[in-house]
Structure 1
Amino acid sequence: MHWTASALLLLSAALLGGGVEASSSPASSIVWTNTQRFLFDVDGNQIDAYGSKINLFQGSYYLYGNSFSTTGSAFGIKSYSSPDLKHWKYEGFLYDPTTPSPCDAIGGCGRPHIVFNSESKTYVLWANAGSAGYIVGTSTSPSGPFTFLNQTAAIDPQFDGLQPADFAVETFNGKGYIVFSVLNFRSPNAGSIWPPIFQTLHISELTPDYTNTTLTSYRVTSPAMDLIDQETESPDFFVTENGTFYVFASNTCGYCNGSIALMYRANSLNATWDRQILSGYSCNGQLEGILPLQSPQNKAIDYIWHSTSVPGGPRTGFSGHIFQPLQFASDGSVHDLNCASSAAFNVSFVSGSDSLPSGVASSAVDGSPMFADYEAVCDSDQFTLYQTWQASQSGSIKSVSVNVASSVQTVPLTMTLFKFNSYQHLTAPEYKWTTYGSASYNASALTFVFDTVVASNSSNVTVSKGDLLGYSFAGADFAPKDWGRTRCVA
């Protein structure tokens, strides 16, 4: 079956005159759960950044990741900023992805990481360019634009002939480090079915300008060097005040619905690493990065596990994000991840100094909550879908928006804004609502993630406080199908 545009009933934002702007008071706490996985910016668009990392730069937390909205696959790197990890402002692409770059055609500049060089006052971007290796760009701003260097970064020559893969870069005490994996497609131990490749982790120091490695590396593995150690990717790491190195990673998975959560710990780069398995499936996600947050009470650092979540979605663009604080034991080990659906994590932290951004969604009078247990649905060709709400104040409607993603639709998806008398009337035979406006969208007018589209621009419509309002989705797009293999087509 060919499905129409996937509809996510999220931001039922009736924008009335006199909307309230977001507060400029910085927040100092946030509650994360294992079920609230979608993130949105202050304009209501889905955060479109995967394989992402969050850094604190210039008074704001910056979230960087690969964009999937344009093509459905990795295409360029987007950035978002927020002082409180809740109100995210879209900062744009780090470079123009429509112009030739060293990696867009062969990997989308995968899993970007940025570090700041205090000596040169330069932000240094590292990205995975697939078989070409790691590319490096520089900028004077954390949101770019970044200019790529003319050559790829060099790694330990012992890996010549192998493919550099997932990685992370960080700085500690004025020194830069990279932890990276390498893919071995020619191992004689590869299986006919699984594993087809082997992937091992290594760590190197960076040159003083953070644009290259020192060509010397140390393997990150347990003494077992078993299949788990040889199938590691998507790493991130940090060093504690007492000099302990922690490397977190997952097994080879690639934006999947779950992967083994791993932790490696050592007192130096060339020491023996202790390994722990923190979860068998990482709460239905794969590690993206570790987010350090400073506690406002005792200035201690809380380390937050941040992973990509694809909860049954048919493509990476439907992904969400999972956050939870790592819990350390007195011996330095880490407790297992808490993957319970009822788990909630209240974290206090030192917020950024920038004022809270405001946008179309944050200033809307009526709207769905920013944090909720949203799920992707792909059935707008089988059913007419409805979203209803009650006007909280009187005024003129400026616009109504909703989050919709493109699929394989061949007919327009039509959204109709209406007013109705009561829920009993709405479902009663022969009842006719009052139509306020409508809008139609072809697949080409939508993105591959849940961005907002205007369901109705009805500037001449006035409503009274308490009015019942709604909009409908209709867009049948049927084709012959195999009933035994119905699925949502990406």
Structure 2
Amino acid sequence: MKGLRLAAACAFAAATAAPAWAGPATINNGSQFTTTTGGQIDAHGGGVIKVGNYYYFLGENRNPDYSFRAVSMYRSTDLKTWEFRNDILKSSSADELNFVNIERPKVIYNAKTKKYVLWAHKENGKDYVEARVAVATSDTVDGDYTYLGSFNPLGYESRDMTVFQDTDGSAYLISSAAVNYDLNIYKLSDDYTKIDSLVAVLKGFHREAPAIVKRAGTYFLLTSGASGWNPNQAAYFTATSLAGPWSGPTRFGHPYTYNSQSTFILPVQGSMGTSYLYMGDRWGPASGQIVNDSTYVWLPLRFPTATSIDLPTASQITIDAARGTIALGSPATTLVRAKVAHSGMCLNINGYNQTFGGKAIQWTCNRDGNEQLERRQVGDYTQLVFQHSGLCLAQDSDKQYGALATQTSCSVGARSQWTISGDTIVNRQSGSCLAIGGASKDPAKEAIVWPCTGDAEQKWTFE
């Protein structure tokens, strides 16, 4: 037993050792995050818990049929360089988890029991009629969690959910109920594994994807509209007590929340103060992909007043975890616009469309955000990211030529990757050139991919 205790103490020390802080890190929004060994990070609908100087990032890792594979966990000191740690809960962890959906997992630490407690939304893998919470615990943050079971909290449905630990050590479950029309707030038991009481009901708002933070005595509860995988505009509620009264919902930020849905708000505390990181998922199924194709959108939350929020957008952010700062953009990135030679017009998105499938067109250059592009390197290829939407230029099908150029998720692979050689932009998927259809000089004429001819409607300059 002494040897076992020593091994456990060493494991805890390894998990919580304080490494040296890394410098500022630039994060590409709408991209796949990867580990230090190059593996894809699957932590969708997830959350973060900080232990020592490490941030532990956990979330959904699903099978192609959307069923539960694991809750995967990664750790980092700079919120960019992620080391895979463990699949902390797996489909083999308990018989009940054999074929289910486990969504939006979060972990909090109970100082009294010295246990890490995981809560998640559980369904039966076939439909969404169970609406349960699942609970598991571990002695270490990234260990194998012991599954305790699932239930309906106080008999209510519980769908999208999060957990929150207040400054006094009490903990709460916040979840969508009544087929997403209500948001219920429950106080957890002293050991964080059960429900103590129902604290408040935000009734009739049809909201989901809750994420919560407390700042200067005010609680901010961010939510999404209930529109399935498709993005919509976020809204927040505020209160000075979790029991209410709650004001809101107040819509804010980008009309499609930068094509994402909220999952967590992370305070990043450092030597210069505390910044607040909005963490969202750009869901793959919204653009015809599977869940593990989903990418991440992380943005700084701003607080114009003591009771209001703003969410400025950019295709990149720079986080300095040591200083506690989050800045829009990257010091090394210059935004450009693409001008086609035959008409002198700029690549644009028709109608200022801000979501998946917006058609790329030529339009009179006006230095509008709709034509601002980030040139993002992905290996030997380039992605062109529209700043107004955060989406990538891509050909909209696998056709060899004649396909429209549209904006979509940056995770669609070769269709969103281009070789820029001199004044031509060649799609990796088809090997065809970005062109203006029919060599038309009309405003709003669609951009397409077409066999490379060297004609003026296929020649582009970046400025």
One-letter amino acid matched to 2:212: F
Residue 174 of structure 1 corresponds to which residue in structure 2?
169
Q: 2-side partners of 1:379 and 1:100: how far apart?
A: 42
Q: Deviations over 1:347-380 (max 9, x none)?
A: 332389xxxxxxxxxxxxxx93999779698999
Q: Deviations over 1:400-436 (max 9, x none)?
A: xxx999xxxxxxxxxxxxxxxxx99xxxxxxxxxxxx
Q: 2-side partners of 1:379 and 1:280: how far apart?
A: 23
- TM-fit CA distance, 1:56: 1.0
Q: 1-side partners of 2:35 and 2:382: how far apart?
A: 11
Residue 70 of structure 2 corresponds to which residue in structure 1?
76
Q: Are residues 28 and 292 of structure 1, via their aligned partners in 2, closer, same or farther at CA, if it must alter by over 3 Å?
A: farther
Q: 2-side partners of 1:293 and 1:369: how far apart?
A: 33
Residue 200 of structure 2 corresponds to which residue in structure 1?
218
- Matched residue of 1:317: which SS? helix
Q: 1-side partners of 2:85 and 2:381: how far apart?
A: 19
- TM-fit CA distance, 1:126: 0.7
- TM-fit CA distance, 1:307: 0.5
One-letter amino acid matched to 2:104: R
Q: Deviations over 1:275-317 (max 9, x none)?
A: 21114311101111111111321xx321111110137352222
Q: Are residues 84 and 302 of structure 1, via their aligned partners in 2, closer, same or farther at CA, if it must alter by over 3 Å?
A: same
Residue 32 of structure 2 corresponds to which residue in structure 1?
38
- TM-fit CA distance, 1:33: 5.1
Residue 207 of structure 2 corresponds to which residue in structure 1?
232
Q: 1-side partners of 2:197 and 2:188: how far apart?
A: 9
2:321 paired with 1:349: yes
Residue 118 of structure 2 corresponds to which residue in structure 1?
125
Q: Deviations over 1:147-200 (max 9, x none)?
A: 011x4355244x3xxx3101111212211111111133xxxxxxxxxxxxx431
Q: Are residues 86 and 33 of structure 1, via their aligned partners in 2, closer, same or farther at CA, if it must alter by over 3 Å?
A: closer
Say how many residue pairs are matched. Answer: 324
Q: 1-side partners of 2:45 and 2:315: how far apart?
A: 24
- TM-fit CA distance, 1:71: 4.8
- TM-fit CA distance, 1:259: 1.9
Q: Which aligned pairs between 1:39-438 and structure 2 lie closer than 5 A?
A: 39-69=33-63, 71-98=65-92, 100-107=94-101, 109-130=102-123, 131=130, 133-149=132-148, 151-153=149-151, 155-157=153-155, 159=156, 163-172=157-166, 173-184=168-179, 198-220=180-202, 225=204, 229=205, 231-240=206-215, 242-254=216-228, 256-275=229-248, 276-278=250-252, 279-297=254-272, 300-310=273-283, 312-335=287-310, 337-339=311-313, 342=314, 344-350=316-322, 368=379
- Matched residue of 2:150: which SS? coil
One-letter amino acid matched to 2:226: T
Identify the range of structure 1 (274-283 vs 367-376) with the bigger mean alpha-carbon deviation: 367-376
Preserved contact between residue 39 and residue 371 of structure 1 (Cα < 8 Å): no
Q: 1-side partners of 2:86 and 2:380: how far apart?
A: 24
Q: 2-side partners of 1:370 and 1:44: how far apart?
A: 17
- TM-fit CA distance, 1:34: 4.4
- TM-fit CA distance, 1:32: 4.0
Q: Structure 1 unaligned runs (5+)?
A: 1-23, 185-197, 353-366, 384-402, 406-422, 425-470, 475-490
Q: Are residues 347 and 89 of structure 1, via their aligned partners in 2, closer, same or farther at CA, if it must alter by over 3 Å?
A: closer
Q: Are residues 236 and 472 of structure 1, via their aligned partners in 2, closer, same or farther at CA, if it must alter by over 3 Å?
A: closer
Preserved contact between residue 155 and residue 214 of structure 1 (Cα < 8 Å): no
Q: Are residues 153 and 264 of structure 1, via their aligned partners in 2, closer, same or farther at CA, if it must alter by over 3 Å?
A: same
Q: Are residues 57 and 71 of structure 1, via their aligned partners in 2, closer, same or farther at CA, if it must alter by over 3 Å?
A: farther
- TM-fit CA distance, 1:270: 2.9
Q: 1-side partners of 2:306 and 2:267: how far apart?
A: 20
TM-score (norm 2): 0.62
Q: 1-side partners of 2:159 and 2:381: how far apart?
A: 34
- Matched residue of 2:25: which SS? strand
Residue 438 of structure 1 corresponds to which residue in structure 2?
none
Preserved contact between residue 318 and residue 376 of structure 1 (Cα < 8 Å): no
Q: Deviations over 1:91-139 (max 9, x none)?
A: 23113324544345232x2110100011111100111112161111110
Preserved contact between residue 76 and residue 104 of structure 1 (Cα < 8 Å): no
Preserved contact between residue 238 and residue 247 of structure 2 (Cα < 8 Å): yes
Q: 1-side partners of 2:84 and 2:63: how far apart?
A: 14
Q: Which has the higher contact order (CA 8 A, sep 6+)?
A: 1
Q: 1-side partners of 2:107 and 2:219: how far apart?
A: 19
Q: Are residues 372 and 324 of structure 1, via their aligned partners in 2, closer, same or farther at CA, if it must alter by over 3 Å?
A: farther
Q: Structure 2 unaligned runs (5+)?
A: 1-18, 124-129, 325-377, 386-391, 401-410, 414-420, 423-427, 432-463
Q: 2-side partners of 1:317 and 1:378: how far apart?
A: 21
Q: Are residues 266 and 316 of structure 1, via their aligned partners in 2, closer, same or farther at CA, if it must alter by over 3 Å?
A: same
Q: Are residues 104 and 328 of structure 1, via their aligned partners in 2, closer, same or farther at CA, if it must alter by over 3 Å?
A: farther
